[in-house]
Amino acid sequence: MAPTTISETSVPAAPATGKSGYTSVEVLSDKTKVENGFLYSSYAYQNSVVEQVDGKYKVTPTEVDYEFKLDLSVPKTGLLLVGLGGNNGSTLSAAVVANKYNISFETKNGTIEPNYYGSVTQAATIKLGVDAKGKDVYAPFNEVLPFLHPNDFVIGGWDINSANLAEAMSRAKVLDYDLQRKVGKYLSAVKPLPSVYYPDFIAANQGERANNVIPGSDKWEHVEHIRRDIREFKENNGLDKVIVLWTANTERYADIVEGVNDTAENLIKSIKASHDEISPSTIFAVASILEGVPYINGSPQNTFVPGCLELAEKNSSFIGGDDFKSGQTKLKSVLAQFLVDAGIKPLSIASYNHLGNNDGYNLSSPKQFRSKEISKASVVDDMIESNQILYNDKNGKTVDHCIVIKYVPAVGDSKVAMDEYYSELMLGGHNTISIHNVCEDSLLASPLIIDLVVMTEFFSRITYRKKDSDEEYQKFHSVLSFLSYWLKAPLTRPGFDAVNGLNKQRAAVENLLRALVGLGPQNDLKFEERLW
């Protein structure tokens, strides 16, 4: 059965407004050249290796020269969402339709024009340098290099519920009625494909929605079924690339069991044996990896068990995760970094939220909540590790972290978050920062999906090698840790620590783009102002 998608074949014809591949930046540099549709750039990666000897730091500057090769052609790309009919899937689909067909709508506050606010790639800028007077100059993020535009997404996907996207959008209660009315005619024909449903992995209260599931209990056949769906979606829509993204319910954590999911070989054997500890999200991940398409996990469960990660490495297939970093946790990654960088010692962080959407309904189950609790708690780990003055064996190396999530149906998608940061100041003093934040959950998460897809597609067009070597250009490592800016519990390559500080994550992405166009890392010394 061919997937139903949001594309020119399933909606009325209209002028496309996407700008995939458009650029407005030209860098005059001897470090770059364009040949046969590829941008070649050379970059000196400078860092420092540090040793601690007798209480002192011995720092050795290092430099490695790399050559990058970027394919400048932007492919026709499909997005397959697991959880297409959920709040995020229906909201994203409505946003793409509204922007693609320039659909404005009326609210009590007046007319709203379609936009992609909240998306870094679509609504943020990058500093290029300074003008002749030393004033900073910024360009739109998506005009520095050729990027995929969300208006050009071809969207399809799976869901355990059979509601078409217009019905799903109405059920979600995220968007204003007038917008729902106008985009509904485009979305009513789009129905999710049957999905994988293992009741043990999500809350029992989700059973009432599960009327659109792949039959049977043979988990390997489920992998093969998903693989066929991916191939048919790509073929039927004439796509060059496909990206699969999980935006479905939070699952419980899968137990890591020796001989079951600890290696790639054992994982495949366990799937073929339909082992109980193989989750739906891992089924989708394995199917995507075997098809060679990127897979992104937007929920907090441990989809990428050790065997799944090893399988991705063996197949050189891109993976990214875990859990969208939207409101409360994104703020935490900024505020905790500010406190630690300022020499102030956070002693405790208490985070409370309540929400009334289906995500909150699912998280009212203790096992699913535990997955979310783990992803939210880890966001300050690297900040604590960065300051041995504040956190040491004598003073204590941890922050008391309390996380509470409650389901309150009345508030719907408007999640209420309250945080208290209790910190130690000089000479026994204390400081308390309390924050009350109300956010529309899906309107924060949907732009993250856009960015994750746009950037994953972009990274897949980059190859590299050491300069002046005879090596073939190769892809980035399978774990796309460059995606960390958008993810709560960043997946990292085995043996490496996660970076959670939001500014550090953003700087990594920005400086990579600068490297590709022949510029050095962002420089805010501003000698134009500060030197005679």
| Catalytic machinery residues | 323, 372, 415, 488
Residue located via tokens 């134009």? 528
In contact, 251 and 274? CB cutoff 8 Å: no
Specify the pairing of strand 136-140 against strand 125-130. Answer: antiparallel
Q: List CB contacts of 342: < 8 A, sequence separation 6 or more.
A: none
Angle at which helix 306-314 crosses helix 264-272, to 10 degrees, equals 110
Burial 254-280 (b: 16+ CB within 10 A, else e): beeeeebbbbbebbbbbbeeebeebbb
Decide if 129 contacts 144 (C-beta within 8 A).
Answer: no
* DSSP conformational letter for 206: G
Q: Is 393 exposed, middle or buried (0-12, 13-18, 19+ CB in 10 A)?
A: exposed
Q: Among 285, 308, 305, which residue's Cα sits nearest to residue 297?
A: 285
User: What is residue 394's three-state secondary structure?
Assistant: coil
Q: Could you identify the residue written with the tokens 């729902």? A: 180
Q: How many residues does the chain have?
A: 532
